[in-house]
Amino acid sequence: MTPEEIKRYLEFYRDLGIKDLRMHPPAPPPPATAAKPVAPAPEPAPFSERTPAMPPAPPADLSESPLPPPVMAPAILPMQPENDTMERIRADIGDCKRCRLCQDRNKIVFGAGNEKAPLVFVGEGPGADEDASGLPFVGRAGQLLTQMIEGTSQKEGIPLLREQVYICNVVKCRPPENRTPLPDEMEVCGQFLFRQLMALQPKAICCLGSTASKALLGSKDGVMKLRGKWAKWRDIPVMVTYHPSYLLRPYNQNAKREAWDDLKKVLHFVYD
Ligand code: SF4
């Protein structure tokens, strides 16, 4: 890595609000031509503290694209400041312009719910209603998610209100036309999700749809293959199920039943 690349790398993390930088594996020695190191040699972090990296963004020809160039993120070493808090993460996001999704957003959708909840739901990104309100899952899909949480928990004898869990997304700004977030957007904004999850320390995470499962599990498998089985993000159990917007389509009634089954497993694991 050249001194210029190291400098860009450090600036990237500084922009994310990360001030205590540790790297693993240790950075290779600078080339002989380098006059002086850009930063003091950091302590290597234990490998177990690292989060599975997102796959790198595929190269794209953006010469005719109306979009600005992709986020020039160097290979990510996921990490978070020590003693991180939700307030600190929110402050670090600020009026974020770290990726192109800032361009059309109205409101950043940080997340909502009980920050002490043992259960966190992770979706893909805000839609139009969420972008307008600044709150996650408030449109039709959100209403279905509320029904899923409150209806299933009621039936299972674990009465739970939606406000008692925490809900957030992989990206905090609405992608144009509700498109799927691009890998580099997920990689940059995903760092805030990782910090949120580490600060929240839930007993379990429920991934809603394939974007969330890709972000947390790094798996290329689709929801149909991943759903219903426990996986892990770091040491936290993860259950993948369908995104509520997929369940709203009338021909997905079987998926609805499966999603309810997945949710039952999560609720009993967390609250029994
Ligand atoms: S999606 Fe995330 S990284 Fe991109 S501008 Fe919004 S808050 Fe920043």
pLDDT, one tens digit per residue, over 192-212 is 999 999 999 999 999 999 999
Higher pLDDT, 66 or 266: 266
The residues, any chain, with a CB within 8 Å of residue 207's CB and separated by 6 or more, are 122, 213, 216, 217, 238, 239, 240, 241
The pTM is what?
A: 0.75
| Confidence band, pLDDT 50/70/90 cuts, at residue 143 | very high
pLDDT digits (tens, 9 = 90+) for 226-235: 999 999 999 9
Of 124, 9, 78, residue with least CA distance to 233: 78
Lowest mean pLDDT among 5-14, 36-45, 201-210: 36-45
Pocket test for ligand 1, best of 71, 172, 178, 179 (most atoms within 8 A of CB): 172
Ranges for all domains in the chain classified under CATH 3.40.470.10: 83-271
Ligand 1 shell residues, CB under 6 Å: 93, 96-99, 101-102, 108, 171-173, 185, 188-189
Query: CATH assignment of 83-271, given 3.40.50.620, 3.40.220.10, 1.10.357.10, 3.40.470.10?
Result: 3.40.470.10
Whether the predicted pLDDT of 83 surpasses 70? yes
Q: In angstroms, rounded to a whole number, what is the distance separating the alpha carbons of residues 65 and 103?
A: 14
Q: Are 89 and 17 in contact (CB under 8 A)?
A: yes
Q: Which residue is listed with tokens 């760092």?
A: 191
Rounded distance from Cα 158 to ligand 1 centre (Å): 35
More confident residue, 116 or 79: 116
